[in-house]
Homo-oligomer: A and B are copies of this chain.
Amino acid sequence: MSFSEGKKATRQRVIMTELALSPSVRTSELATRLGVSAETVRRDIEEMTRRGLVSRTYGGATGLQLGLQPGFQDRDATAVQERDTIARMAVRMVKPGDVLMIDSGSTTAHFARALAYSIDGLTVITNCLAVAQALAPQKKTRVVLCPGEFSAHEGGVYGPETCAFLDRFNADIAFIGASGLTPDGPNDVESGACWVKRKMLERAERRALLVASSKFNRRHLELVCRLRDLSDIVTEALPTGPMADALRISGVTLHVREDRLSEAS
């Protein structure tokens, strides 16, 4: 009888579907709709809660509100302070009317939010949904979104379509992020993301890397480019050791600020 998946799996899939359509479901309704007893539904919900799929409530369940992609903003929710400093510094590189390319990532998205209320008349080309959403409400900013395969994990689009599209534009400044920075240069875990970053760097006059100091000396799958291929690096703490040496030699402009000022007490 059963061919592809068990009854339980089917039931739980229906629950997820139901939850995708409405913010909450009720045990009793599900029981009727699924033709099983309330107890069974309750057990399903309990199990799904354990697995982190839903959140149990009195009388039913609700989906987990994920503000965004799981792992996109959560990835380092602790680093808000650092990202904030970086974002503010990076904003100072931009002047009204500039054409920007902005990469996907939590740091660049934060930068975009800071940009939104600071500078007018921008044109922003991005492959990141969060960046687009941050900037678009500003009437005076034009946001161009790249095509490509959408990755929920990264919250952006990637692939040959993306690169080919970027190839048709010229920008004043490109802002890219990275999952690591070594003396060799910025690197990233995603190969698809690397190609997009490279293409952005290629099409822009100034080429800025936004990176938290916690990423220093972290080595990942693929090298995006050499240090000397960047024109600016924006970070919140001075690098040390080999990293500092490599930066000095590369001739990249380093934007750092240590003043730890908060919002008025």
Q: CB within 8 A of A113: which of B20, B133, B137, B151?
A: B20
Asked whether A149 and B144 contact (CB < 8 A) given A65-B23, A117-B20, the answer is yes
| A118 partner residues in chain B, CB cutoff 8 A | 13, 17
Query: Please, what's the 1-or-0 string for A105-135, where 1 marks a CB less than 8 Å from any CB in chain B?
Result: 0000010011011100000000001001110
Q: CB within 8 A of A24: which of B16, B55, B129, B161?
A: B55
Query: Please, what's the 1-or-0 string for A1-37, where 1 marks a CB less than 8 Å from any CB in chain B?
Result: 0000000001101101100111110100000011100
Asked if A189 is an interface residue, CB under 8 A from chain B, the answer is no
B34 touches A262 (CB 8 A): yes
Q: Which one of A55, A145, A161 has the greatest number of beta carbons of chain B within 10 Å? A: A145
A147 touches B132 (CB 8 A): no
Q: Which one of A62, A68, A146 has the greatest number of beta carbons of chain B within 10 Å? A: A62
Q: CB within 8 A of A152: which of B114, B133, B264?
A: B133
Query: Please, what's the 1-or-0 string for A29-58, where 1 marks a CB less than 8 Å from any CB in chain B?
Result: 000011100000000000000000001011
B116 touches A20 (CB 8 A): yes
| A114 partner residues in chain B, CB cutoff 8 A | 17, 20-21
If A10-B263, A14-B263 are given as contacts, then 16 extra A-B residue pairs at C-beta distance below 8 Å, sorted by A number, are: A11-B263, A17-B114, A21-B110, A22-B84, A23-B65, A35-B264, A57-B60, A58-B59, A62-B62, A136-B150, A142-B149, A144-B147, A144-B161, A145-B147, A147-B161, A161-B165
Chain A interface residues (CB < 8 Å from chain B)? 10-11, 13-14, 16-17, 20-24, 26, 33-35, 55, 57-60, 62-70, 80, 84, 87, 110, 113-114, 116-118, 129, 132-134, 136-137, 142-152, 157, 161, 165, 262-264
